[in-house]
Amino acid sequence: MQLTAYTDYTLRVLIYLGMQASGEKSNIKEISSFYNISNNHLSKVVYELGKLGMIETVRGRNGGIRLAKDPDQINIGAIVRHTESPINLVECFDETRNTCKLSPACKLKFVLNEALNSYLKVLDGYTLEDLLQNREELKTLF
């Protein structure tokens, strides 16, 4: 399974904001420059994270963005589910577009669904805080 760039960027934004000092604000331009990702892509990510209540946006002269929750309250599995939804590994996962002739008797879809559920269960066991456990090492990269 491969995550979309959108999910990748979402997780990177969360890690970046999680590395900021408590209450410190950042901005899209700064994050964009750090990761060498377009402002437009990150604007969409930041907008969605704001709608989800994961980040707080502050307008004005001293504005910026920061985490709205503690890192230990941001579940990685939930983020991936939201940004990847729906997760259709194969055509038959989407009943409205499924044209596979094997679907009625196929066992592959059950195997892949089990694998997907296991994958998501692992991600559910982690929070943003877990991804920031090596803060000192990460600081050298920032």
- Structure token pair of residue 125: 């066991």
Helix, strand, coil shares of the chain, percent, nearest 5, are 55, 10, 35
CA–CA distance, 109 with 112 (Å, rounded to integer) = 5
Give the integer Cα–Cα distance in Å for 135 and 20: 10
Instruction: Give per-residue pLDDT as tens, 36-45.
Output: 999 999 999 9
The model's pTM is 0.87
* Among the listed residues 125, 45, 17, the one whose alpha carbon sits nearest the alpha carbon of residue 78: 125
Tens of pLDDT, residue by residue over 58-74, are 888 888 999 999 999 99
